[in-house]
């Protein structure tokens, strides 16, 4: 599957690799890793909030909030430089999202904390990668932003006093995931982070001196050791930046080659190319089972209008193609039936492929926004491939156990009893209420929503001239009015 230049940017080697599920463990691991930094930390993300609490149970030697913690790092480590790159929402919107003016002003004038807002992308696009690299010795890459509302434990309690915003308001349960790697893989992510910094700022950053000692957090359970890692990107053609659609190519290749099962966790389910690939597999007589874990609704009114409507259209196509009942989409719920928001971006195919990153299953993640995913494939000699496959299967069972309120062993046992069917295992283990997976039935969409989703006006797959976007929005509105007046479906554009 991994083919540099087509389905990935680079294949590299990780001495150690761990999947970290949910931000409580991520923030704790990240803080401990940053404390060990010596030369440089690169924070590349969609958003950062300086008031986010990283940990609440440490010994008090270091500040727990992100902003004071970063200040303390440079105060206590004279040789350390920290570079922070976040998507440019505009300064006022950036402050409005929570980053306090005091920290922004301090960091913009600090000699060793370098804050930049990434505005180098086409109209309507955003920087969406979530990468942290420490001395090129250890690196994190996945879907978790260090910002408000992300922190949660794997228990996803209905009420958790630690899950609050900086203003003291309770936050809903949130499911997310990232990865951590070391060795050559960490250096490669350092190369990619510095490349993005240069594209956003024009500045070349010097790589750190190579550190040979082990930086792996000792308390962090390993998912793999000595494993090849593929790094896949989405990147629009803009200015001096060439287009990269490796994530899209990988998704299509992986879906096309799946034999038994596909397991997906994604914030959205709205990609046209992915939907067509899934429909094609469902139309086969002996295609794979496909399970998608989504949030019940998108976060925010506009996102639900755009992504929720697009999901409804995709699910209509899938329902028509799914003659054998091999597709199911669910949302996770808490013990008291509160929907858990799914922000993780995970894909597992046949237990031989694990993909984790920042890209969603929507059109813009295929080529409009900047994205970065990590891929592990069970390849090599039989012993190595079997070891990797077993680890990926354990990851899938562990994720299902979290969602179903049971144990990994129980998921494995029931799945084996059901002849290896993950769909049958889920249906056997899930409950009518409480911590479980609930079948997701999309709400009917209005004519205006249908027209907007069909035209992809707010979820394009690649950059378009501003006139095109205006034209499509006008066309969408006209289509919606026509449907209301005549009752006829809108034409596809």
Q: Of the given ranges (132-141, 207-216, 318-327, 391-400), which has the lowest mean pLDDT?
A: 207-216
pLDDT score, position 444: 76
pLDDT score, position 56: 73
CA gap 271, 264 in Å, rounded? 13
pLDDT higher at 457 or 76:
76
- The answer to whether residue 448 scores a pLDDT higher than 70 is no
Q: How confident is the model at residue 442 (pLDDT cuts 50, 70, 90)?
A: confident
Tens-digit pLDDT profile for residues 223-252: 999 999 999 999 999 877 789 999 999 999
pLDDT score, position 239: 77
Backbone angles phi, psi at 35, to 5 degrees: -65, -30
Q: What is the mean pLDDT of residues 355-381?
A: 95
Q: What is the mean pLDDT of residues 36-62?
A: 89
CA gap 59, 485 in Å, rounded? 66
- The Cβ-side half-sphere exposure at 443, using a 13 Å CA radius, reads 12
Q: Of the given ranges (63-77, 115-129, 171-185), which has the lowest mean pLDDT?
A: 115-129
Whether 182 contacts 64, CB under 8 Å: no
Q: How far is CA 99 from the centre of its chain?
A: 22
Please state, rounded to an integer, the average pLDDT across all residues of the chain: 88
Describe the chain by its helix, strand, coil percentages, rounded to 5.
Answer: 35, 25, 40
Tens-digit pLDDT profile for residues 286-298: 999 999 999 998 8
Tens-digit pLDDT profile for residues 270-287: 999 999 999 999 999 999
> CA 299, 302, 305, 307: dihedral to nearest 10 degrees?
-60
Q: How confident is the model at residue 60 (pLDDT cuts 50, 70, 90)?
A: confident
pLDDT score, position 454: 60
- Which percentage of the chain shows pLDDT scores above 70? 84
Burial class (CB within 10 angstroms; exposed 0-12, middle 13-18, buried 19+) of 251: buried
pLDDT score, position 28: 95
pLDDT score, position 57: 66
- The answer to whether residue 472 scores a pLDDT higher than 60 is no
Most confident of 50-54, 117-121, 149-153, 488-492: 149-153
- Which percentage of the chain shows pLDDT scores above 90? 70
pLDDT score, position 463: 78
Q: How confident is the model at residue 218 (pLDDT cuts 50, 70, 90)?
A: confident
pLDDT score, position 310: 87
pLDDT higher at 465 or 362:
362
This prediction has a pTM of: 0.90
- The answer to whether residue 484 scores a pLDDT higher than 50 is no
- The answer to whether residue 424 scores a pLDDT higher than 80 is yes
Q: How confident is the model at residue 103 (pLDDT cuts 50, 70, 90)?
A: low
Q: Of the given ranges (57-61, 333-337, 418-422), which has the lowest mean pLDDT?
A: 57-61
CA distances to 158, 254, 356 from 324, rounded to whole Å, are 36, 21, 29
Beta bridge partners of 14: 227
Task: Choose among 35, 37, 91: nearest CA to 63.
Answer: 35
In terms of DSSP bridges, do strands 113-118 and 81-87 run parallel, antiparallel, or are they unpaired? parallel
pLDDT higher at 126 or 224:
224
- The answer to whether residue 468 scores a pLDDT higher than 50 is no
Tokens representing residue 459 in the block: 């979820």
pLDDT higher at 215 or 418:
418
pLDDT score, position 485: 40
- The Cβ-side half-sphere exposure at 354, using a 13 Å CA radius, reads 28
Tens-digit pLDDT profile for residues 162-184: 998 888 889 999 999 999 999 99
Tell me the DSSP string of 87-134: E---HHHHHHTT--HHHHHHHHH-SSEEEEEE--S-TT--B---EEEE
Q: Of the given ranges (105-119, 435-449, 462-476), which has the lowest mean pLDDT?
A: 462-476
Q: What is the mean pLDDT of residues 444-452?
A: 67
CA gap 19, 469 in Å, rounded? 38
pLDDT score, position 240: 79
CA gap 201, 293 in Å, rounded? 37
Work out the end-to-end distance of the chain between its first and last CA atoms, rounded to an integer number of angstroms.
32
């Amino acid at each position: 599957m991994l083919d540099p230049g087509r389905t990935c940017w680079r294949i590299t080697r990780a001495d150690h690799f761990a999947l970290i599920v949910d931000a409580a463990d991520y923030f704790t691991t990240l803080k401990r890793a940053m404390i060990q930094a010596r030369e440089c930390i690169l924070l590349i993300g969609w958003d950062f909030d300086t008031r986010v609490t990283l940990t609440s149970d440490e010994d008090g030697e270091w500040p727990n909030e992100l902003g004071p913690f970063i200040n303390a790092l440079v105060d206590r480590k004279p040789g350390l430089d920290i570079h922070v790159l976040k998507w440019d929402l505009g300064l006022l919107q950036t402050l409005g999202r929570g980053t306090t003016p005091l920290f922004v002003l301090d960091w913009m004038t600090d000699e060793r904390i370098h804050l930049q807002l990434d505005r180098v992308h086409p109209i309507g696009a955003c920087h969406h990668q979530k990468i942290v690299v420490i001395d090129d010795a250890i690196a994190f890459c996945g879907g978790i932003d260090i910002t408000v509302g992300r922190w949660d434990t794997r228990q996803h309690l209905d009420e958790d006093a630690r899950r609050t915003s900086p203003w003291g308001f309770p936050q809903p349960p949130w499911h997310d995931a990232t990865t951590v790697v070391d060795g050559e893989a960490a250096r490669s992510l350092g190369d990619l982070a510095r490349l993005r910094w240069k594209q956003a700022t024009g500045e070349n950053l010097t790589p750190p001196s190579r550190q040979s000692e082990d930086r792996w957090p000792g308390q962090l359970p390993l998912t793999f050791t000595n494993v090849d890692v593929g790094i896949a990107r989405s990147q629009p053609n803009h200015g001096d930046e060439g287009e990269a659609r490796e994530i899209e190519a990988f998704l299509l290749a992986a879906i096309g080659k799946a034999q038994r099962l596909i397991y997906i966790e994604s914030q959205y389910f709205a990609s046209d190319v992915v939907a067509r690939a899934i429909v094609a597999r469902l139309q086969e007589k002996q295609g794979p089972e496909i399970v998608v874990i989504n949030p019940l609704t998108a976060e925010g009114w506009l996102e639900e209008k755009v992504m929720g409507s697009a999901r409804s259209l995709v699910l209509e196509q899938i329902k028509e193609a799914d003659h054998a009942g091999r597709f199911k989409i669910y949302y996770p719920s808490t013990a008291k039936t509160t929907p858990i928001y799914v922000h993780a971006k995970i894909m597992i195919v046949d237990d031989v492929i694990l993909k984790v990153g920042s890209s969603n299953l929507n059109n813009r993640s295929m080529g409009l926004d900047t994205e970065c995913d990590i891929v592990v494939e069970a390849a090599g000699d039989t012993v190595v491939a079997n070891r990797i496959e077993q680890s990926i299967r354990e990851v899938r069972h562990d994720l299902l156990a979290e969602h179903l309120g049971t144990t990994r062993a129980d998921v494995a046992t029931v799945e084996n009893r059901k002849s290896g069917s993950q769909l049958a295992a889920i249906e056997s283990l899930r409950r009518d209420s409480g911590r479980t997976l609930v079948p997701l039935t999309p709400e009917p969409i209005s004519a205006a929503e249908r027209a907007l989703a069909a035209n992809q006006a707010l979820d394009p797959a690649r950059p378009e001239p501003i006139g095109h976007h205006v034209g499509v929005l006008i066309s969408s509105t006209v289509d919606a009015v026509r449907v209301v007046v005549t009752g006829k479906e809108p034409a596809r554009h």
